[in-house]
A and B are shown apart, each in its own frame.
Chain A
C-alpha cells in the first residue's frame, strides 16, 4: 500500500513538473516567404495555454526586430499595430495567430525567406500569476509567397 502511495505521489509530481514546462503548446507555425530586399514578414501559429499567460516578445536569428502585432480593419482601412502589452492567452484557450488577426512580425530581415526553409523562432511568455517569464523555441516552415493559398486562406471562408 505504501509503495502504491509513493508511486502515485511520484506520478503527481511528474505531471506537476510536466505542466510547469508545458504551459503553452505551439502548433501549425508557418512564416510567409519573402522576395529579395523585402525586410518584413509575418509568422503565424496556434498557441494553446494551460495557464493564463501573455506572449510578450519574440526573437529569431533571421530578423533584427521581432514584434507581436495585431492587424485590424477599420472600415476598409487596414491598420497594423504592435501589441505593446503583449498578447494575453487565457488558461485553456488557444490563440490563433493567423492572417487577418494577430501575427508575430519579423522585421529587419537578414535574408530572403524561401519556401521549404525553416525559421527558428523563440517566443517569450509571461505567466500571468507569477510574472515569471519562460521561452518556447520553434522551427517554423516557410510557405512560399503566393503559394499556399488553401491553408491560411480557406480558413477565412466563414459560415
Chain B
C-alpha cells in the first residue's frame, strides 16, 4: 500500500492549524485539547505523519549499543520506538530532532516512559561509543545510541530505506542523510514515518494515538 501523507490533505492541514492554535492557547493540556478539537470538528482522528503500517521494510536491526551489547528490535518490545538516523557532528537537523524527541517524551507525560528513542549513527568512524553516550545524555539519558561497522550500517540503512552519504566540506566532511523518524508500536511493528518539518506536537499527537487502545 502506498504511504498516505496525511499532511497533504487540505482538511487535515486546516485541522493541524486549528490544533496549533489550541496548543498555543492551552500549553500543557495541549494533546487533550487537540483531540477534543478533532472530535468537536467531526474529524476522524488520524495520524499527522506518514502511515506506513504494513510496510515490507524496516522490520529489524542488529546493532551495538555504547556498552558493546548487541541490540535488536525485540529488546524494546512493549515500548513505542522512535528510530532516527543521524550523526554527532551534525550542527542542525540531528540535535533539532533529538531535542524534539526529548520534548515529545515530556509531552506524553506519564506515558513518556513507554517511549524509547533510538539514535543510529550514520557516521560510525567518528561517532565513538563514548561520544555517543555523552551526546545522548545531553538530550535524555534514556535515549539509546546504536552503531555498526560499515557493513552493518549499510545493511540497516538498506532495510530502512535510509539514504546516507559522506560529503566533503572544507578539510572535513559532513553527512547527507534521511531525516525521518520511524515509529514502531508496542508490538514491534513499523507504523509511522514522521517528517523533520513536523512539530513536537505533531509527533506527540501520533504517538498518543498509537498508545490508545484500539
Residues of chain A contacted by B100 (CB below 8 angstroms): 149, 153
CA distance A134 to B95 in the complex (A): 32
CB of A79 within 8 A of CB of B176, answer: yes
- Given that A80-B167, A144-B138 are known contacts, is A153 also in contact with B179, CB under 8 Å in the complex? no
Q: Are B172 and A32 in contact (CB under 8 A)?
A: no
Within the assembled complex, what's the spacing in Å between the Cα atoms of A153 and B200?
A: 9
Identify which of A36, A65, A71, A146 contacts B171 (C-beta below 8 A). Answer: A65
Asked, given contacts A37-B131, A78-B177, whether A146 binds B199 with beta carbons under 8 Å apart, the answer is no
- Determine if B128 and A37 form an interchain contact, defined as CB atoms under 8 angstroms apart: yes
Minimal Cβ-Cβ distance residue in B for A105: B91
Measured between beta carbons, the chain A residues less than 8 angstroms from B172 are 39-40, 65, 107-108
Instruction: Check: B121 CB closer than 8 A to any chain A CB.
Output: no
Render A104-121 as a binary contact track against B, CB cut-off 8 A, 1 for contact: 011110000000000000
A35-B138, A99-B95, A99-B96 are known; give 13 further A-B pairs, CB within 8 A: A35-B135, A36-B131, A37-B130, A40-B172, A76-B193, A105-B169, A107-B172, A108-B170, A108-B171, A144-B138, A146-B95, A146-B140, A153-B99
Question: Do A82 and B95 touch across chains, with their CB atoms under 8 A apart?
Answer: no
Contact A145 B176, beta carbon cutoff 8 Å: no
12 residue pairs from A and B, CB less than 8 Å apart: A36-B134, A40-B174, A42-B92, A67-B170, A77-B177, A82-B170, A99-B93, A103-B92, A145-B139, A149-B200, A156-B197, A156-B199
Residue of B whose beta carbon sits closest to that of A40: B89
Out of B88, B140, B171, B176, which one reaches A38, CB within 8 Å?
A: B88
Which parts of B190-204 form the interface with A (CB within 8 Å)?
Answer: 193, 195-197, 199-201
Q: Which residue of A lies closest to B177 (CB)?
A: A78
A132 within 8 Å of B by Cβ?
Answer: no
Q: CA separation between A42 and B99, bound complex, in Å? A: 15
CA distance A41 to B99 in the complex (A): 15
| B99–A146 touching, CB < 8 Å | yes
B176 adjacent to A159 (CB under 8 Å): no
Q: Decide if B103 is an interface residue (CB 8 Å cutoff).
A: yes
Interface of B is mostly: mixed
Check B102 for interface membership: any CB of A closer than 8 A. Answer: yes
B115 on interface, CB distance cutoff 8 Å:
no
Q: Are B199 and A38 in contact (CB-based, < 8 A)?
A: no
The answer to whether A73 touches B179, judged by C-beta atoms less than 8 angstroms apart, is yes
* Interface membership of B146, Cβ < 8 A: no
Chain B 90-127 interface 0/1 with A at a Cβ cutoff of 8 Å (1 = within): 11110110111011000000000000000000000010
Interchain CA distance A149-B96 in the complex, whole Å = 8
**A contact residues around B96 at 8 Å (CB):** 99-100, 152-153
Which residue of B24, B90, B102, B171 contacts A149 across the interface (Cβ within 8 Å)? B102
In the complex, whether B163 has a CB less than 8 A from a CB of chain A is: yes
A33–B140 alpha-carbon span in the complex (Å): 15
- A78 interface neighbour in B126, B170, B176, Cβ under 8 Å: B176
CB distance from B92 to the nearest CB of A (A): 5
Cβ of B17 and Cβ of A146 under 8 Å apart? Answer: no
Q: Is A69 an interface residue (CB 8 A)?
A: yes
